[in-house]
Structure 1
Amino acid sequence: MMNRKSLSRNPLSFALATAMVFAAAPAFAQDTTSTKTAEEVAAEKAKATTNFDTVTVTGSRIGRDTFNSVSPVQVVTRQESVLAGFNSTTDVLQSTAVTTGSSQINNAYGGYVTDGGPGANTLGLRGLGPTRTLILLNGRRVAPAGSRGAVGSADLNVLPNAIVDRIEILKDGASSIYGSDAVAGVINIVTKTKVDGVSFEGQHNATDGGGGDQRRYSIMFGTTGERSHFSGSYEYYTRNDLSLRDRDWTHCATDKYRDIDVGDYWGSGDFIDPLTGKSKCYTLDAGGVTINTIGTNTRTGVAAPGGAGTRFNRWRPNAAVTTGLVGYEGVDTYTRDTFDDAMLNQSLISPAKTHTLFLQGGFDTGVLGDAELYYEFLGNKRKSTQTGYRQLSLDYAVGSPLIPANLRDSVAGPATNLTNGANMGVRAFIGFGNDQNKQNVDYYRFNAGLRGNLTADWKYDFNVMHSDNDADYTFQSFLTSRLAQSLNVVSNGAGGYSCVDPSNGCIAAPALNTNTIGGNLPADWKNWVFVPVTGNTMYKEDTVNFNVNGPLFDMPHGTVRGAFGAEYRKAKIDDSPSQYSIDGDLFNLTSAAPTRGSDSVTEVYGELEFPLLSGVTAAEELTLNLSGRYTDYESYGSDETYKIGGLWTPVKWLSFRASYGTSYRAPALYEQFLGGTTGFLGSTSDPCNEYSDRDPSSIRYQNCAAEGLPADYIATQGVTVITQGGAETGLKAETSTAKTLGVVIQPEFGSGFGDLSFAADYFDIKVENGVQAAGGAGILNACYGSATADFLAGNGLCRLVDRNPLNNALTVTNGFINVSTDKVRGVDLTLRYVRDIGPGEFRTTTQFTHYIEQSSKIFQDDPLVNYAGMLGTPANTATFDMAYKWKEWQVRYGLDWIDKMDSYAYYEERNPGLFEPDTSPYKIYTPNYFLQSFSVQYEADKWSATVGVRNLADKEPPTISQGVYSTVGNALLYSGFDYWGRQYFANVTYSF
């Protein structure tokens, strides 16, 4: 039972301990193994953490004698993460209880371009992205890790698990305390320091449907002496591949359209495959690709079954066709082949192996104010892979001897980069098969410091830290130069072909025939044109920090305390892509230049806490907290941030808190120095393409005319888009403001009722001058929509647009610029109840988050769109936890809820008053989604065992229509949905 008398002796501690432990804690954030008060638990942890009498809490640098904070802090204990069945710190942090439903980059994103590269896992609070959430380990920054040029956020894979004591989550801006990146909040992973002996732990999570099993084995060790302590852990974690083949709901992705005139069920509007009589799996909208097909000039032929017409430019081999194009049947968008069984080998959840070593320790020197010399080492090695699928579009030049005689008159298009200057005669769409990405990431972080007493009351802490990320990344690619070289052939006189240029061991491309079109390609040619491509990414960060804290002076109702410090950080990135990538030789992939740059920052900061009132009528406690920071970056100059917070406890059972502050995020190194990456937009993206169709009085018409283009101008060149860092364009830090208002209620009922706690916190975060790569299309539209004088002068975004005067081709520099705005508002609610029932203790916690607004826009003149409630951004989420503990036993039931989501209004498909519009052929909504879990734990003196089930009901992710949002199968690509299916888990520990 909660000891109210102990808490009530210090109303501030009482209210804030309640705010921290109860106000935002998820169900599994409570230490259900103990009936100690919050003060007693905090005091024990403070004593175990240092040789001081105080402990510093996330959100403040002022030491206190209990957990307290003006801002809400959520706590997740290690034991409860085990009860919930999580097999890694990554899983805990990306759970709904922590993220409140905002989507995270996890292991289902292996086939997408993400910051940190494939295999990296990141965390962003409040839906504001991972670069706006600061990750700490024992109060110190975890430097970015990962691969490729866009490394800018901490990779959760590097974090230890077994030695973690608790995770503290501050969901409030805190740049005045921690510096850059603490815009949406701060995550602080706190490790156990008082470890004596050796403990072994093993956990296995097995999926009910097969695939994706996770295993973790760890050893934790330590010793504590009179003047020193040492502890550490080593962990090995492995995750098996979970492929699309392993889950029924990914076997057949369909369009999932509705024929609103004929039927009201999803799929009634899908194309029915004439060969199977069922909705066609993996159409072009549903993730399929054109395969087993050739493209030619338009000519007369025989339609494939289910098709219509007599004129085609796409064909599929069919030996039974003897008229028209002999040996081929004509196919259209619906009848062409789009599915290859090898597609099901693609990773749904990508596999990985990690080794993590964590060491920490310290000893009392007996000098320099009874100083403790302390140190930490974190080393992590990750090997991860992702299996994908590749289509090969192979262009045969007009007149090539590799083309069969009845197709040699075809001219399918102009010259391409494979036809050696000749027009393209035939294009073969080939299902090439599976490819793999691989990453080997080595990360280490070492820090050491000295902390002690300046005086009897003032403490100091000096720390130096170095972090290093070294990653090799390998993927497979066709080389454009080798494909072109292999297609330039002559007869060898023996029924085969030889390369005109035999250098580099050239192997002639296969002739265009049924085997080639069907993907049965010669192994020696495949090995020569399809090669592994390797790059390397290095990221280094150095930090020096010094801070002091202690009492300043006395006021009538207490002592004013302060914390002051200075910090210097320097970071450097060096990403070296393969030379093939630098040379632009990767076929149908973008080129990439090296990303190299560095930045440094010097900062000074301070924090003050004023006890204004205490123990008087209507003010059991009234405290004011002020903090500020001055920042000077080498890259863009200086910034100042501040925060004002207060807590008022009018009566012992009621507390109010509020804060207002500014935060900032310095541009990540990749946002400043990303090497130029080239991509392309179609010719119709040219804003002046056929601009005569527009109103002559429109700004775009006038700008195109002022550029000297004829009114009947037709763009024939694609738009080149070069994405690069924004350092040269004067990129600045983005700034933000954050407001929080909270109330904590803990009424005093009789002892038979139990303890009831309720907390509510309103949050409001606005980011301005947001760093954003606006995109080629967005830059073009904004430029050609600007005033003609600015347009001609190249002002604003027009400085990023260039038109070649010889061929009118457009080039857009898609640099990172300060243009976007993001705004998040909402309410966090927590209700907790604890009571002794029978021989044990029962407790339940409900955490609920409601987003009032999740708005964003890129350009100043854009409308601010509120995405709350749309697909991928639920307006409401909740977690519910119920646990009962008696003696050595404990049982737990957990429930996660994600509210229904829909995007009908955004796409103007909604009828008033209807959730599912009768007039829309698209399914762009998801219903309420629930995930349940259950576990049982037994704890003996030296060992413990926990078994349980996650996703108890084997809930599949809900389905949507294709072509609107990114999908996996027919499910929305969204981390809040469970792709694993039912999992059984078992965790065993043994201590010596």
Structure 2
Amino acid sequence: MNRLGLLGTSALRSSAVFGLALVVAAPAVAQDTTTDEVEVVETAEQGEGEIVVTGSRIRRDEYSTIEPITVVTAEEITQAGFNSATDALQSNAVTAGSGQINNYYGGFVTDGGTGANTLGLRNLGPARTLILLNGRRLSPAGTRGSVLAADLNVLPTAIVERIEVLKAGASSVYGSDAVAGVVNIITDQKVRGLSIEAQVNVPEVGAGVDRRVAATFGFGTTRLNIIGSLEYRKRDGFSINDASFTGCPIPGYLDGEGSEFGSADPYPIGDPRNCFTIDNGGATINTLGVPTRDAIGRTSGVVGRFNRLVPDASVTTGPTPGYAGVGLYDRDSYDPAMGEEYVVTPTEIYTGFFSGTYDLDALGNAELYGEVLATRRKSSAYLYRQLSLDYLRGSPLLPTEFRNGAFLAPNETSSGQIVAARAFIGFGLTDSRQNVDYVRAGGGIRGDFALPGWRYDAYIGKSWTDATYEVESFLIDRIANSLLVTQNTDGTFSCTNAATFANCVAAPELNADTIGGRLPQAYRDYILANTVGTNKFRETTFAVGIDGPIFALPGGDAQLAIGAEYRQQRIDDTPDENAINGNLLGLTSSLPTRGTDSVREVFGEVFLPILSNRPFFENLNLNASARYTDYESYGSDVTYKIAGEWEVVRGFGLRASYGTSYRAPALAEQFLGATSGFLGAGTDPCDSDNFPSDPSDYSANDQLVAQNCAAVGLDVTTFVQNNSIKTFTRGGAEFGLEAETSTNWSVGAVARPTLGSAGSLSLALDYFDIKVENGVSSLGAGTILNRCYGDTAFDPDAGFCRFVVRDANNELEVNSDYVNLSTDIVKGFEFNARYAVDVFDGRFTLNANVTKYTEQSSRLFPEEYLTDANGTYVTPDWVGSFDATFRTGKVTFRYGLDWIDSSSGTYDYFAYDEQTGQVDEDLAQAYRDSYILEVPDYFLHSASVQFNVAEDFELTAGVRNLFDKQPPRISAAVNTIGNAPLYSGYDYIGRSFFVNTAFKF
């Protein structure tokens, strides 16, 4: 991947050196592959010999742009071993280290649902990056109500000519969402004949094979042009058992700063009992929860006080025969089935793309054009489930010794009765499946306008998403009724409410088999149901525009583009009725998400070539754009942008831009139906585990929280929260949610020194500064709880506490909504270089792209101090991408390197108090003494060789992650996979081999 013009040798075989978003641009002509001039490539957005480059609506006769644009060509995608445009777009070379939602997130709740792949530039999230296909936006797609951004899975790959990535705000040109940048996928409009392409990527471990086969075709006459592609891709799942680094996840705690990783874990380093503890990867299973009682300890062998027991037939004496007492780490927490959960989820995708043009020879040499993209994605994920069966006080299903206890207060499965004992059961794997159908169809007419050199373009488009999402779920009402039983005369049990629940199956008796997960199949089938939700998303677009020269300037003709656009979106997400009714045990519940929004816009852009071919003014150009927007949801706004380029002398120039952008609230952010979630019981600020054992060691904040907890009758020295905390998130339309606003400015320099026979060199350095204000954000439940109980003016019914409900049993419920609060700032430098030289009867080319972030900060509330995450373990401050190619004859060799800088300041980041703007040094040191949360430099190498065996046959083979680099290892105090950070920038698969073949008929 390289900058605009620093291209590889695919459809853009005449490499353009100075398109690093160049300030220097000569008229473009097609050249052979040994030159460094720009080739004119006709796209669906241009006329004969004229180009519209991403980030502008002005047609130019040269392949240049004022702002830096990254270009990924089809050949580069193949040579790098990516099996799809999606994989290429989510690589570090494009994202510059920004974390992305990809197929590593199968076990997490993400926007767009499991299997969705999105792209967010500058670490500002996918909802702030606009995705285009041939200059027209892709509507959001996915499952569940929180569909916010385009799903990259819908993109074709085989017919892609190049991808242009503008990392700058462009709302004045394209409208909402173009805050962090714009990605434009451009298809090849010159396809002729039939081509067959196939690729397979095979990880060295043998699992997770990724295969794709595609056919592209094109035919036409002097007036008709038809092109298209059909693709099928299937990627097998890659499980925990398949990855070497996930084989034994441990807590990874330290016994003081600098001590060995895992030195403070429950067992000695290397002891397999540290694997899959409840701190990392495991869950309490094969265990019975009872009121605290005497029992012989499983590990100690002596009598102690325990509230967790495990069946143990070897215990024949003592206070609790048949059971041993266990603590936090000697209870069972690993089931081999856990290893079958996916690290990379499986996917099957069918894609069809068709495009056509027809010259009318009328209406100003008009051309009719149309395009259809259709995809079907099938994805799935396993989820290991722990089942908790709450046996009621006095239940005949309980052994006599546990029948009259009081382990828990009444809860959702106890029918309002006291729970005497809870069985923590390893149920096994449950399945979830997603099916997403996406169609985008559009077309229009374009031709010469009334004035010389002017063109018009009128377009209408429609997008459809129809998705289903299925999840195997435990039903609360069935479990509750199964535990209300009557004992029959023959000793069996029947459901007390069998008349109401005709198919009710009584819960099994509490014994070693039940606790061990050996449940009757009829009972498993009864409590587990396949729940199905549907999502429909619609977008309609009407657009019209004209452009052409307006007057002559010393540097050429001034150009003007003006137009208008109307868009309407509608979402209709209907969860399964059990999710709507809150009948899913341990999973989120949600209400329907339904709403519409529309926007009317007018826009204009002007390009002014002020001077050229003058002393100290080889070129001086100015570009300005503005857009008026009127949304039905939040009202109107005006955005603008101005950019300029000054080539001081031939080979050296300066450029700068400043603009405003905005992001209208997505339909999901406006209308999201209340969606439930869960926080761990320990998130309760009043839980005793959150405080030092000695009150004299309390910090000032500990003392304040303890005081506020006491105000609601809780003693933080003894209180233990035994229940998960329910959370509910809702859309913010009823609270007057408004659009985000942002400013984006950059300044840079481009140099192309003359080297003569020593080759050609191009250098570019740019500084960028993006600030998003009035940001749309959901108040995190954890934030609400901490702000509620950390308030010096604590009132359980006011302030943040108004979002918190603590019932008589001390069960917590937290409600949060989307609101306009947050601020995000990203600043940094981008350096790009390209060197090319003819050597050894071939062409050697070296590309380097390096990003240095100087700030990646945010705050949730306006009164807070900014918290800078720059340089932390998943927010690197330095990121680099390098590749070298050597083409000789019909063979091309490529070597690639991605680099992610080591982290620093992570401990200070976690110990930073956004309300005071200070780092709690004692807390930071406590983190250093307890955890490894920083990572070393990370390098990924790749290599390939490409053979153009014949004019109609090409073969590419190579290796990704050449040295089988594993992701770094950190402690399990944050989201991890195994002991690796959850971060898209790392490779979880290991060394993999790929082969791509292409035939043309």
TM-score with structure 1 setting the length? 0.92
Contact preservation (8 Å) 1:458, 1:548: yes
Query: What's the offset of the Cα at 1:721?
Result: 3.7
Corresponding residue for residue 609 of structure 2: 611
**Residues 408 and 267 of structure 1: is their aligned pair in 2 closer, same or farther, counting only changes over 3 Å?**
same
Corresponding residue for residue 35 of structure 1: 34
Corresponding residue for residue 969 of structure 2: 959
Corresponding residue for residue 346 of structure 2: 351
**Residues 727 and 47 of structure 1: is their aligned pair in 2 closer, same or farther, counting only changes over 3 Å?**
closer
For 2:612 and 2:685, the matched residues in 1 are separated by 66
Residue 388 of structure 1 is aligned with which of 380, 383, 386?
A: 383
Query: What's the offset of the Cα at 1:406?
Result: 2.2
For 1:944 and 1:809, the matched residues in 2 are separated by 64
Listed one character per residue, the Cα deviations across residues 29-54 of structure 1 (whole Å, up to 9, x for unaligned) are xx999335443x1x2x1278754331
Query: What's the offset of the Cα at 1:777?
Result: 3.7
Query: How many residue pairs were aligned?
Result: 959
Contact preservation (8 Å) 1:295, 1:313: yes
For 2:283 and 2:686, the matched residues in 1 are separated by 31
Corresponding residue for residue 18 of structure 1: 18
SS of the equivalent of 1:728 reads: helix
For 2:399 and 2:49, the matched residues in 1 are separated by 86
Corresponding residue for residue 197 of structure 2: 201
Corresponding residue for residue 823 of structure 1: 825
Residue 956 of structure 2 is aligned with which of 941, 946, 958?
A: 946
Q: Give unpaired runs (5+ residues) of structure 1.
A: 1-13, 25-30
- 1:674-693 aligned at under 5 Å gives the runs 674-679=672-677
- 1:619-768 aligned at under 5 Å gives the runs 619-679=617-677, 721-750=727-756, 752-768=757-773
Query: What's the offset of the Cα at 1:418?
Result: 1.9
Contact preservation (8 Å) 1:412, 1:425: yes
Query: What's the offset of the Cα at 1:554?
Result: 1.9
Amino acid at match of 1:506: C
For 2:148 and 2:881, the matched residues in 1 are separated by 30
Contact preservation (8 Å) 1:694, 1:701: no
Residue 507 of structure 2 is aligned with which of 506, 509, 514?
A: 509
Amino acid at match of 1:956: Q
For 1:397 and 1:776, the matched residues in 2 are separated by 31
For 1:349 and 1:32, the matched residues in 2 are separated by 43
For 1:980 and 1:797, the matched residues in 2 are separated by 43
- 1:122-133 aligned at under 5 Å gives the runs 122-133=118-129
For 2:813 and 2:457, the matched residues in 1 are separated by 52
Corresponding residue for residue 444 of structure 2: 449
For 1:694 and 1:921, the matched residues in 2 are separated by 18
**Residues 398 and 33 of structure 1: is their aligned pair in 2 closer, same or farther, counting only changes over 3 Å?**
farther
Query: What's the offset of the Cα at 1:934?
Result: 0.7
Residue 298 of structure 1 is aligned with which of 292, 295, 305?
A: 292
Corresponding residue for residue 117 of structure 1: 113
SS of the equivalent of 1:580 reads: helix
For 1:668 and 1:920, the matched residues in 2 are separated by 43
Query: What's the offset of the Cα at 1:803?
Result: 6.2
Query: What's the offset of the Cα at 1:295?
Result: 0.4
Residue 396 of structure 2 is aligned with which of 392, 401, 420?
A: 401
For 1:952 and 1:720, the matched residues in 2 are separated by 45
SS of the equivalent of 1:906 reads: helix
Contact preservation (8 Å) 1:307, 1:332: no
Q: Does 1:904 align with 2:912?
A: no
Amino acid at match of 1:312: F
**Residues 688 and 919 of structure 1: is their aligned pair in 2 closer, same or farther, counting only changes over 3 Å?**
closer
For 1:952 and 1:793, the matched residues in 2 are separated by 59
Listed one character per residue, the Cα deviations across residues 151-194 of structure 1 (whole Å, up to 9, x for unaligned) are 11000000000000000000001000010000000000000011
**Residues 598 and 715 of structure 1: is their aligned pair in 2 closer, same or farther, counting only changes over 3 Å?**
farther
- 1:61-210 aligned at under 5 Å gives the runs 61-210=57-206
Corresponding residue for residue 467 of structure 1: 463
Q: Does 1:418 align with 2:428?
A: no
SS of the equivalent of 2:190 reads: coil
Corresponding residue for residue 889 of structure 1: 891
Listed one character per residue, the Cα deviations across residues 933-985 of structure 1 (whole Å, up to 9, x for unaligned) are 111111121110001111110111111111x2111111111111101111110
Q: Does 1:319 align with 2:306?
A: no
Amino acid at match of 2:952: K
Query: What's the offset of the Cα at 1:410?
Result: 2.2
Corresponding residue for residue 254 of structure 1: 250
Corresponding residue for residue 335 of structure 1: 330
Contact preservation (8 Å) 2:409, 2:809: no
**Residues 204 and 688 of structure 1: is their aligned pair in 2 closer, same or farther, counting only changes over 3 Å?**
closer
Corresponding residue for residue 10 of structure 1: none
Contact preservation (8 Å) 1:562, 1:608: yes
Listed one character per residue, the Cα deviations across residues 271-308 of structure 1 (whole Å, up to 9, x for unaligned) are 2289x944521111112100110000111110012577
SS of the equivalent of 1:60 reads: coil
Corresponding residue for residue 431 of structure 2: 436
SS of the equivalent of 1:568 reads: strand
Corresponding residue for residue 938 of structure 2: 929
SS of the equivalent of 1:342 reads: helix
Query: What's the offset of the Cα at 1:712?
Result: 8.4
Residue 975 of structure 1 is aligned with which of 969, 984, 989?
A: 984
Query: What's the offset of the Cα at 1:687?
Result: 7.7
Contact preservation (8 Å) 2:438, 2:463: yes
SS of the equivalent of 1:592 reads: coil
Amino acid at match of 1:580: N
For 1:876 and 1:988, the matched residues in 2 are separated by 35
Identity of aligned residues (%): 46
For 1:483 and 1:792, the matched residues in 2 are separated by 34
Contact preservation (8 Å) 1:680, 1:720: yes
Q: Does 1:244 align with 2:240?
A: yes
Query: What's the offset of the Cα at 1:863?
Result: 2.2
Query: What's the offset of the Cα at 1:689?
Result: 9.8
Query: What's the offset of the Cα at 1:792?
Result: 11
Residue 371 of structure 2 is aligned with which of 360, 370, 376?
A: 376
For 1:301 and 1:932, the matched residues in 2 are separated by 56
Q: Give unpaired runs (5+ residues) of structure 2.
A: 1-13, 25-29, 913-918
Corresponding residue for residue 491 of structure 1: 487
For 1:773 and 1:238, the matched residues in 2 are separated by 35
For 1:165 and 1:528, the matched residues in 2 are separated by 53
Contact preservation (8 Å) 1:657, 1:743: yes
Q: Does 1:269 align with 2:272?
A: no
Query: What's the offset of the Cα at 1:588?
Result: 1.8
TM-score with structure 2 setting the length? 0.91
For 1:501 and 1:952, the matched residues in 2 are separated by 62
Corresponding residue for residue 9 of structure 1: none
Residue 850 of structure 2 is aligned with which of 848, 851, 866?
A: 848
Listed one character per residue, the Cα deviations across residues 543-584 of structure 1 (whole Å, up to 9, x for unaligned) are 000011111112344321111110000000000000001111
Listed one character per residue, the Cα deviations across residues 593-637 of structure 1 (whole Å, up to 9, x for unaligned) are 000001000001100111222221111111111110000000010
Amino acid at match of 1:949: V
Corresponding residue for residue 6 of structure 1: none
For 1:810 and 1:348, the matched residues in 2 are separated by 32
**Residues 833 and 445 of structure 1: is their aligned pair in 2 closer, same or farther, counting only changes over 3 Å?**
same
SS of the equivalent of 1:901 reads: coil
Corresponding residue for residue 999 of structure 2: 990
Contact preservation (8 Å) 2:23, 2:655: no
For 2:886 and 2:724, the matched residues in 1 are separated by 65
**Residues 835 and 802 of structure 1: is their aligned pair in 2 closer, same or farther, counting only changes over 3 Å?**
closer
Query: What's the offset of the Cα at 1:389?
Result: 0.5
**Residues 867 and 489 of structure 1: is their aligned pair in 2 closer, same or farther, counting only changes over 3 Å?**
same
- 1:518-537 aligned at under 5 Å gives the runs 518-537=516-535
Listed one character per residue, the Cα deviations across residues 358-393 of structure 1 (whole Å, up to 9, x for unaligned) are 000111011111110000000000110111200001
Corresponding residue for residue 7 of structure 1: none
**Residues 202 and 694 of structure 1: is their aligned pair in 2 closer, same or farther, counting only changes over 3 Å?**
closer
Query: What's the offset of the Cα at 1:820?
Result: 0.7
